[in-house]
Structure formats: structure tokens, C-alpha cells
Structure 1
Amino acid sequence: MWDAIVGWEGWSGIGAVGGWTVTVCLLLVGLAGCFIPVIPGHLFILIASIFHYFAFRPDSGVEWWTFVVLVALLAASQAFEFISGAAGSRWFGGTKWGAAGAMVGGIVGMFFMPFGLILGPLLGAYAFEALFAKQETAPAVVSGVGSAVGTLASLVVKLIVGLAMIAWFFFDVFFVG
């Protein structure tokens, strides 16, 4: 159907080297996005596999179940990233208010990259603990530190999932497909 719509005939104009260059560049941007919060790293890795599929079809080596696995890994990582600050706050003994503050702080912190990613949940958990849960300074600070630890854990998980996605892609292309 794609061929009929746009007259697509693959990358015959730039060849396999050009197609692989674009694929690898997208994968590298995706890997960088695991470190740089502004770049949706896992999404770029998924886009790289989709690009590779269409650029080299029917011999791309990418099977349909690879897309299922990559989307599942992307969704799991995003869910973990979203709740990690709140979970860290609760794990360190914070109240529900501290967890809510970590989530709000994480959202606000996204607008103040790169330091806002760590300081947002920390300050949000502290502020909500102090203002709404009426916690003393020490428990509020512990809750804030817990949210920062949770956020740092999510960065590690993002990197591990990003590397797993890239490894899965190459495994499928070279060993399965």
C-alpha cells in the first residue's frame, strides 16, 4: 500500500550505507535521550527501528514482534519514570503528600532542565510535606531526598532499557531476521 501511495522503492538512491547511517544516527540520538531528559530517547529508538523496517523492506530483518517488544519496553520505562520520584519519597518514609509533591515537582522541574529534573521532585516533596502534611523539617527533607533518589534510579533504568532496546533491535536484524 505504501508503494502505491508515494511510489516508495526503498533507499536505492542513497543505498544501504545511507539507510544504515540514518538508522544508527537515530539510535544514537535515542541513546543520548536516555541521559538528556529533553530528548525522548526510547521513542527515537523505536522510530529508528520503524525507519529501518521501511527503508530496507522486505529484507529489513525486523520482525513485527520486535515492535511489540520495543513499545512494551518504552511504556514500562515511561511508567517507571513517572512514578519513581513519588515511590522514592514513600520508600524513604514520606507521606502521600510528599509523593504528590514529588510528582508535581517532577513535572515543574522538566521546564528547568537539567537541574530541575532532580531539584523539582526534591523541592516538591519537601514543600508538600511541610505545607500540607505539617511535617517537621527533618522528615520533610528525608522525603525530598527520597524523591531525588527515586528520580536518579529512573535515569539508570532509562539507560538500561534504552540499551536493551538497541540490543533487541540489533539481535533481531542480525540474528533472527
Structure 2
Amino acid sequence: MWEWLTNLPMWHGVGVTGVWVVTISLLAMGLVGCVVPVIPGHLFILGAAVWHGLILGEDSGVEWWTYVVLGSLLVGSQVFEWVSGAAGAKWFGGTKWGAVGAMVGALVGMFFMPFGLVLGPLIGAYGFEVAFARIGQREALHSGVGSAVGTVASLVVKLVVGILMIVWFAIDVPFIGS
């Protein structure tokens, strides 16, 4: 079905080694993206598997269930990242307004990388607690710190999931010369 892709002139003479160079480069970029917020790390890792499977076809060794597992890990990690700041705010005693503020702060913080990644949920939770929940500044600060802790926890989980995705791919696919 995807033979046309491998028959493009740009891939003539590249060989299996060239395909592996691109695959490993995508995997490395994905791993970097697990800690650098602007790079969609897990998407690069899944893209490496898809690329490898499409270009080498049946010789790639990539099974259909690898795509399912990698895709599931990607979605799970993204969901965890999205709710982690809100969960941290709630864990530290915040109200629902703190959780909503942490999520809004995370969205706004994406535009102010790299500091916005942690400061966005913190400021959002704090601001929403003070403005809408009308709680004291000390309690609001607890909620904000909780959202920042949740955000940092999500970065750790993203890295662990990225490593797990790469290991899963490496176990599933035979290496050059196998």
C-alpha cells in the first residue's frame, strides 16, 4: 500500500542504514522533546516508528500492536500532562477554581516558554483562588504551589514515558544486519 513512498527518487540508494539514521534521529529528537516543552517529543517517537514501518515495509519488523501501544502511551501522557497541574492544586488543598486556574494557566504559560510552563499553572491557580474562590492569599499560594508541583511531576512522567516508548520500539524492531 505504501510502496509509492519507498519508490520516491529521494530514497533511492539510501538503504537500510540510511533509514536507521533517520529513525534514530527522530527517536533522539523525541527524547529531547520529552523535556523541552516546545518539541512534541512523544509524537516524534511515534513518528519514528511509523516512518520506519512505512519505508522498510514488512522488513521493518514493526508490528501493528507497537503502533497501538505507542499511540496509547502518547495519549495517556498527554492527558496526564494536561490534568497534572489541576490535580496538584487540588492535592494541596485548592478548590475547583484553583484546578481550573491551573489548567488555564498551563494553556497561557505555553506561550511564555520555558518559565511559563511552571509559572503559568502556579499563577493561574493562585489568581483563580483569590478572584473566584475568594480564599486567603496563603491558601491560594498553597494551591498555586501544588499546581507547579503537579506540572513538574508531569515532566518527569513525560520523560519516563518517552524512554518507555523508545525501549518498546527497540525491542520490537530488529536492528541492522539482523
Q: Answer yes or no: same fold by TM over 0.5.
A: yes
Indicate the residue corresponding to 2:75 in structure 1: 75
CA-based RMSD: 1.7
Partner of residue 32, structure 1: 32
Percent of aligned pairs with the same amino acid: 63
Q: 1:93 aligns to what?
A: 93
Task: Give the CA deviation at 1:6.
Answer: 5.4
Which residue in the other structure is 1:49 paired with? 49
- Per-residue Cα deviation, 1:104-144 (whole angstroms, up to 9, x for no partner): 00000000000000000000000000011011111000000
Give the partner amino acid of 2:171: F
The number of equivalent residue pairs is 175
Amino acid at match of 1:110: M
TM-score when scaled to structure 1?
A: 0.94
Query: Which one is further off, 5-14 or 144-153?
Result: 5-14
Shift of 1:174: 2.9
The answer as to whether partners of 2:2 and 2:54 remain within 8 angstroms in 1 is: no
Q: Which aligned pairs between 1:94-113 and structure 2 lie closer than 5 A?
A: 94-113=94-113
Runs (4+) of structure 1 moved beyond 3 Å?
9-12
Cα deviation 1:21-60 (Å, max 9, x = unaligned): 0000000110000000001000000000001111222210
Cα–Cα, structure 1 residues 146 and 61, in superposed 2: closer, same or farther, change >3 Å? same
Match of 1:66 in 2: 66
- Normalised by the length of structure 2, the TM-score is 0.94
> Where do 5+ consecutive residues of structure 1 fail to align?
none
Please tell me the residue identity of whatever aligns with 1:14: V
Q: Are 1:158 and 2:162 matched, yes or no?
A: no
Aligned to 1:140: 140
Task: Indicate if the aligned counterparts of 2:60 and 2:174 stay in contact, CA closer than 8 A.
Answer: no
Distance 2:148 2:12 in 1: 49
